Amino acid sequence: MGSAALALAGAIALPGTAQAANVLTNPGFESGAPSPWSCTGNLGSVVSSPVHGGSKSLAGAVSSSDNARCSQTVSVQPNTAYTLSGWVRGSYVYLGVDGGASTWTSSTSAYSPLSVSFTTGASQTSATVYVHGWYAQGTYYADDISLDGPGGGGGGSDTQAPSAPSGLTSTGKTSSSVSLSWNASTDNVGVTAYDIYRGSTQVLSVAGTSATVSGLSPSTGYTFSVKARDAAGNVSASSGSVSVTTNAGSGGTTFKQAAPYLYEGWGDPPNVSTVMSSTGVKWFTMAFMLDGGGCNPMWDSTRPLTGGVDQTVINQVRSAGGDIVPSFGGWQGSKLGANCSSAGALAGALQKVVDAYSLKAIDMDIENTDEFENEAVQARILTALKTVKANNPGLKTIVTFGTSTTGPTYYGNRLIEQAKSLGADIDVFTIMPFDFGGGSDMYGNTVNATEGLKAKLKSTFGWDDATAYAHIGISGMNGLSDQQENTTPAIWTQIRDWANSHHIARLAYWAVNRDRPCPGGGVVSNCSGISQSTWQFTSITAGFTG
């Protein structure tokens, strides 16, 4: 029986055995760009942290409507066994091959291995492997992906390059991005990706025939071209080039604002004319614009949008040569972002405020579980800001949110990722470096948190250091915070000087109402709880120039 079975086995064509060779290109993303991996929605980027091996890894910025699937097509041999493996980090990360096996991990805060084996078909000469996350589960990371087995050959080789893409044109632009489209190329086995070049530098790789290149400078000319690539790695000739100059964006990334919070509904509101004449400050962040019912904007949900004390104060500020930016949201209360039924309805509410005060900027203070920790509401807010900005040329949009001592938390990262995927074109991402239980080093923790934000903006948008800093704001808390962290005038001066030397966009603090001395007074609404001069923090803030 045993010898009969052995003889039979020898007469059957068994699958070939995979050799210990990785047939993928750029498996560890060390080239610094995803190519030749192609990611849906342009949501894949190469980052320097966290990595499993080497100095780079892939980050897939999953959205509520896109799982950030990154794939690569390679030549393989028919009827041959292959093993696909890799290291992944995140919630519900998948690794697999089109039309074949896949595997996944539920959730991990550190890199975990995934592996799956498959056998090619009798006439199969190419395979597409992929990695992706799951909808609304946050950014996933992948590194050191390997497809072990023999490369294509044995009659499956392909040396014919695709035709060059044609009809390259710009379909839209902002102060920091250019959208492109082109006609599909043809190929004997099919095009797997298009590589987009800015000058001679490849900046994107996509599967479809359109792309948006972000992280550009305002009022700057760029030249773009596209090449097609097939499964065997053959690359077409370049398309014709298209030259585009980005929009001016009313100063683009040169927006600078020193704007401490002022609250007319709390904390013995100061006389704004006195504060301005004593300190030289020109801008204030006016808190808080909330929902008065039915997605209707009102100050604190109770005071009228116009005609009340808030308008009186705004008129005084403007009469003294200053201006205000209203802050929507905050920690508590009935918020427009959470209560308006849609992004369109929210955009309509924001537009009422813009129209009422002919605003130059608006701030969305996104906090708590109803807005910050609700990814659908985050998306609603960002989409509304995108709409309002498009309808009001020159309007600056600011989002403000909490942070850890090392940079954005999970929900802060999601906010940034969604801003990118939605094309919201946010001008300033402002963090609040306090109440994070970070101990006594408020200067060091603020700098570390801001550097963490800078790194996230760079990895998400592809910006350089200077561009990332120019999209950053810091909003501190003077004196004692709710968690007894102490930001003294000397520390706030250090923070301001650091902000100036790194040319960030915005400096604010909570709040002018508290900018009065009361050593030993604790955390109260109308003084700082420490020894200081009256309006000292406002004077320091007024020295911010960016």
Cβ neighbours of 136 (radius 10 Å): 17
CA distance 410 to 191: 36
78's tokens = 């028919």
Adjacent-strand bridge partners of 128: 73
Q: How many CB atoms lie within 10 A of CB 519?
A: 11
d(CA 334, CA 453) in angstroms, rounded, equals 28
Q: Which two tokens stand for residue 266?
A: 């709390």
Rounded Cα gap, residues 522 and 529, in angstroms: 5
- 99 Rama sector, left if φ>0, alpha if ψ -120 to 50, beta otherwise: left
Cα 185 to Cα 174: distance, rounded to the nearest angstrom: 28
Q: Do residues 114 and 93 make contact, with C-beta atoms less than 8 angstroms apart?
A: yes
The reply to whether 367 belongs to the active site is yes
**For strand 57-60 and strand 166-173, is the pairing parallel, antiparallel, or unpaired?**
unpaired
Which candidate, 209, 235, 208, 233, places its Cα nearest to that of 40?
Answer: 208
Separation between Cα atoms, residue 470 and residue 458, nearest integer Å: 11
Packing angle between helix 489-501 and helix 442-461, nearest 10 degrees?
30
Looking at 249-330, which runs of residues are DSSP E strands? 257-258, 261-263, 283-291, 297-299, 323-330
How many residues would you count in the chain? 546
Indicate the residue type of 193: A
CB 46, CB 33: distance < 8 Å:
yes
Which of 30, 264, 367, 417 is catalytic? The answer is 367
3-state helix, strand, coil in the chain (%, to 5): 25, 35, 40
Q: How far apart are CA 16 and CA 96, in angstroms?
A: 20
426, 397 Cβ separation under 8 angstroms:
yes
Who contacts 189 (Cβ-Cβ below 8 Å, separation ≥6)? Answer: 125, 126, 158, 160, 230, 231, 232
Q: Judge contact between 519 and 531, C-beta under 8 A.
A: yes
Amino acid making up residue 418: Q
CA–CA gap between residue 15 and residue 120 (Å, rounded): 8
The rounded Cα 458 to chain-centroid distance in angstroms is 9
Taking the CA atoms of 39, 40, 46 and 47 in sequence, report the sign of the dihedral they define.
negative
* Cβ atoms 63, 41 nearer than 8 A: yes
List residues with catalytic annotation: 367
